Amino acid sequence: MDAANARGSRVLFFGRHCRLSAVPLRALIDAGANLVGVVVPAPPRPGPHATPIRRREPRRGPKLPLAGKAHGPALDSLAAEVAAPMFEVTDLRATATRHALAETAPDVIAVSCFPLWIPPEVRSLATRGAVNVHPSLLPRHRGPDPLFWVYRCGDTHTGVTVHLLTDRLDAGDIVAQRTIPVEPGLPGDVLEARCAEVGADLLVQVVAQAAIGALRPRPQPTTGASYEGWPEDDDLKIDPEWTCTRAWHFARGILPLGYQPWFTDGRRTFIISHVTGVRPGIFVGELVQRGPRGAAIQLADGVLDAEITEGGNDR
């Protein structure tokens, strides 16, 4: 499908200030899509009576931190390039919200990394379809943070799926999908960057297909589905029975995503802030051996070298 078909399509974009939103939005603009608005969650404001939606003109500003140490343009700056209005929302079900978004008259609603459920009265505003970019190979890892669960589950590959929005989160028919390898020790921010680029490419293609009525949705497979919520504290724990390479891969993955893995000796909790290496086949005779360059953490088949801090009594 020629991405040129995306040119002129009226796109209402839903996202937040992160790489997984900014990169697809950048691609849509570069492909010539007619960006009619950018919808983001409203920042918290004091007071009991929050406005369900607020329209404002985008402001050019400094680059914002995205995941890990990466930086990129704020959604404001991207919207400002094409003079598209910004909408800050607190309640997508409100009549005022629907009326305000209806004025944008979108052909396509495109969603990437937007944290709120989008109700049918908003989805139906798009005459050509409403789609979401999800960074996993659906139906595996439905939920708000699939990249974390790729590392927790030790997946050797993942991917990006563009699917139709429905009442069930991340369960709509698939319109595009591509696999991405997950090499041992791949940092989580690098994987996120790959997903953002692949998602951007797929989204431009999908918008081009939607513009000419050429979407070919297919149901998600009925097997292999999983849903995981936000990680809880126990999900960050490294078990001493793990292999050292599993622990190394997990820590290398989730640390750049903003999570801190931890482990315990039964009395104290230790928080890992950085991993420096892995030594299979080495046994130091104790769970934690401290040294001038960090700590050696004994695991089932070897040692994980890391920088750690003691987090107090066992959790």
- pTM to 2 decimal places: 0.91
Task: Answer yes or no: is pLDDT of 264 > 80.
Answer: yes
Q: What is the pLDDT of residue 65?
A: 44
Once rounded to an integer, what is the mean pLDDT over residues 190-215?
96
Q: What is the mean pLDDT of residues 139-157?
A: 97
Q: What is the pLDDT of residues 275-301, one digit of tens each?
A: 999 999 999 988 999 888 889 999 999
User: Using one digit for the tens of pLDDT, what is the confidence trace for 210-261?
Assistant: 999 999 999 999 999 999 999 999 999 999 999 999 999 999 999 999 999 9
CA-wise closest residue to 11 among 170, 125, 168 = 125
* CA dihedral (103, 109, 114, 119) positive or negative: positive
What are the tens digits of pLDDT across the range 52-111?
999 988 876 554 444 443 444 589 999 999 999 999 999 999 999 999 999 999 999 999
Range 230-239, long-range pairs (CB < 8 A, 24+ positions): 230/144, 230/145, 231/145, 231/148, 231/149, 231/152, 231/259, 233/315, 235/148, 235/152, 236/260, 236/261, 236/262, 237/261, 237/262, 237/263, 237/264, 238/262, 238/263, 238/272, 238/297, 238/299, 238/304, 239/263
